[in-house]
Amino acid sequence: MAVTVAEYLGKRTDVDDPIMPITEKAPCPFQSNNTCMKSYNNKNPVCSVRKDGDEFWIVCQNRLCSTKKDIPLCDHQRTILLDIAQSIFNPRITAEQILVRREVPLKVNASGKKPYHADYIMTINEGKSPYPGPDRVILEMQGGGETSGTEKMTAVVKAWKNSTHPTNTMLRRSSGASPLETNAWRRQQEQFIVKGNIAMQTWKGCGMAFCVGTLLYKYLNDKIDFDTLPKLKESNWTLAIVPIEEDKSAEPAVGPVPLKVNREKIVFTNYQTFVHALINQGVPNPAAFKGKFVNLNNEEKTIKLD
């Protein structure tokens, strides 16, 4: 089954309260004092979709917990960040103890040109954690990504908007689009490697927390198999892979889909071991390097290897 619209401008579609199409620019439900980026660009303000009618996939870069350093944190961002902090540091710490910096430039080379930017730098108290693991982390967010067949989902939303009596049922019709987990990881992979390496080189006590949606978490687990990584929750971990999923503890209600950290599935491990596992994939495949070839005159040649 293909994807369906899960949220339209911060309103979940699987409740009875009718959602009305917007016709002009609208505030972003997930940032303070900021216009919805999609409505600003005259696009449909679809925040998230569901794969196979269930699995949550974010399709807007501002949906999970993006921020701008000069804008106050909204309630949504504060709730997500506190959940993350309590999940990676200690469940008893409070909002007052959590300190963050936002959109922090990270120098990639000696010249200082074209720096990356950390979504957040997070720490607690005075920058010194009394708990196992790092004192400060580069906190990166990748809750989802794009879909294939976006025009198909656009057609579903357009038909809903043009209907005389638009209903939420119409809005969540199957679209034929599909999440592109591979593209999401490819786009993030270089920054993940570079930013993590910056954390490892800076000083002892720095680490990285990588927050991902459930589909991307599954994708990474399929590539690497988290069970093979060192389990360092109560030790000196330097990488935490933090799955953020839909909170289904209550019946669906009007508003956005609630999210939470799945603390039972967090992977606390060693950053270098994880990166090594990324690059150390594949097995010898002699059959690919012998057999029938053709030269550039289209003459067939057979290559045999001992």
The structure tokens listed for 69 are 């350093």
Q: How long, in residues, is the chain?
A: 306
C-alpha 131/C-alpha 237 separation (Å) is 11
Q: How far is CA 254 from CA 71, 89, 258, in A?
A: 26, 32, 11
Phi and psi at residue 256, to the nearest 5° = -75, 160
Number of H helices, E strands in the chain: 7, 15
Domain ranges across the chain: 1-61+147-178, 64-145+180-306
Neighbours of 261 (CB within 10 A): 21
Q: How far is CA 129 from CA 97, 205, 271, in A?
A: 10, 9, 19
**Do 5 and 159 meet the contact criterion of CB atoms below 8 Å apart?**
no
pLDDT per residue, tens digit, the chain (306 aa), is 589 999 999 999 999 899 999 989 999 999 988 899 999 999 999 999 999 888 999 999 999 998 887 788 999 999 999 999 999 999 999 999 999 999 999 988 877 678 889 999 999 988 888 888 999 999 999 999 999 988 999 999 999 999 999 999 999 999 888 999 999 999 889 889 999 999 999 988 899 999 999 999 999 999 999 999 999 999 999 999 999 999 999 999 999 999 999 999 999 999 999 999 988 888 888 888 999 999 999 999 999 876
DSSP character at residue 157 = H
DSSP character at residue 122 = E
pTM (two decimals):
0.92
